[in-house]
Amino acid sequence: MDKRLNRSDYFFSLIFVFLLVCVAGAFFFGVELGQTRTESKYNALMAKQEEAAKKPGAYDQQHLVSFYHTIYAPYREFTNRWFDKLKEVELQGDAADPSSVMKDLSKTASDKYDEISKSVTPETSPLLGEAHQNLLKGLRLFSDTAKKFQAKANSMHPSVLLTEVDKDAFFLEAKKFALQGQQQYYTAIVKWNESVDPQVQGTGLLAQQSFTLKDWSQMSLNVKNVVVSTILMNEKRYLSLYPQDMTVRIDEMISNGQAKKMNLNDIQAITDLLADTNAARKGDFIARKDKWYAGETKPQLPFFYENK
């Protein structure tokens, strides 16, 4: 038997619908408010960075050198060991002791974390401060990644172990922070470059999302390195090489016509090819720098002059 809704039922239904509308409105208002606050915080941070960068000596060479020796070089020592030890596991196959390797890598990352956590960066150089914190976060997560696999590494085939590590959530986050810290360091180098030469070629192009070969031809070495480090960061390509090693191979591919023959029309496509085929390696820059960048302005940092 049908039961008709009385006036009270309608009244409560309307109140329920009204409350739902209010809740939905409050939710979307909260989302918009949160987004606005986040954007305001980000814009304020960027404004602070820009203001600090304009101050004399904000990114002078002494700051870059100090950061290199106390923070970046120890981080790179871990990076070199990471790739060397995983290569050892890959090549030795069943004869390897993956658990021992994971234990070693976890300890190395932890030791390097402790070492560089004692370092300080000047407040006037916010990019270096952020790079410092991101490299620390990366090392902590690298240590957690290796520790996570230590107990079960020997029960896995080496190839399976390497695959599992590569897609592990801790490892993905470790790469993200480490590559971001690296990108910020190379950006700080451009800030230094601008302090000694306000007309640095190509800085105005850095705001772009993609870069053509023509764009690339208008950039100085330091700006090219920022482009490469940004591409590596965005794609989470954690490689043993330095950004400048990739830069010089890109210049070579463009100069000898290989990029054109292969119909590679932007820098990301060339970077992807070089990374995927392992055609760019650590040491490429040092071996070719005199030919390609003899006249370029570079800070006195060991990775521009020594094969480390």
Report pLDDT digits (tens) over 106-130.
Answer: 999 999 999 999 999 999 999 999 9
Q: Is residue 206 pLDDT above 80, yes or no?
A: yes
Confidence of residue 53 (pLDDT cuts 50, 70, 90): very low
pLDDT band at 35 (very low <50, low <70, confident <90, very high): low
Q: How far apart are alpha carbons 192 and 194 in whole angstroms?
A: 5
Q: What does the DSSP assignment read for the chain?
A: ------HHHHHHHHHHHHHHHHHHHHHHHHHHHHHHHHHHHHHHHHHHHHHHHHSTTTT-HHHHHHHIIIIIHHHHHHHHHHHHHHHHHHHHGGGS-HHHHHHHHHHHHHHHHHHHHT----TT-HHHHHHHHHHHHHHHHHHHHHHHHHTTGGGS-HHHHHHHHHT-HHHHHHHHHHHHHHHHHHHHHHHHHHHH-TT-TTGGGTT-SS-BHHHHHT--HHHHHHHHHHHHHHTT---SS-HHHHHHHHHHHHHTTHHHHTT--BHHHHHHHHHHTT-S-TTHHHHHHHHH-TTS---S-GGGTS--
In a domain, 39, yes or no: no
Q: Is residue 43 part of a domain?
A: no
- 42 confidence band (pLDDT: 50, 70, 90): very low
Give the tens place of pLDDT for each residue, 123-155. Answer: 999 999 999 999 999 999 999 999 999 999 999
For residue 145 the two structure tokens come to: 């990644």
The pLDDT assigned to 132 comes to 98
Q: How many domains does the structure of the chain reveal?
A: 2
Q: Is residue 42 part of a domain?
A: no
Does residue 121 sit in the same domain as residue 230? Answer: no
Domain boundary at 176, 196, 216, which?
A: 196
Q: Give pLDDT tens digits for 257-305.
A: 999 999 999 999 999 999 999 999 999 999 999 999 999 999 999 999 9
d(CA 302, CA 304): 5
Per residue in 207-239, pLDDT tens? Answer: 999 999 999 999 999 999 999 999 999 999 999
Range of the domain at 241: 202-308
Q: Are residues 206 and 150 in the same domain?
A: no
Statement to judge: residues 212 and 189 lie in one domain: no
Which of 160, 177, 196 is the endpoint of a domain? Answer: 196
- Asked if 182 and 236 sit in the same domain, the reply is no
User: pTM of the predicted model, to two decimals?
Assistant: 0.82
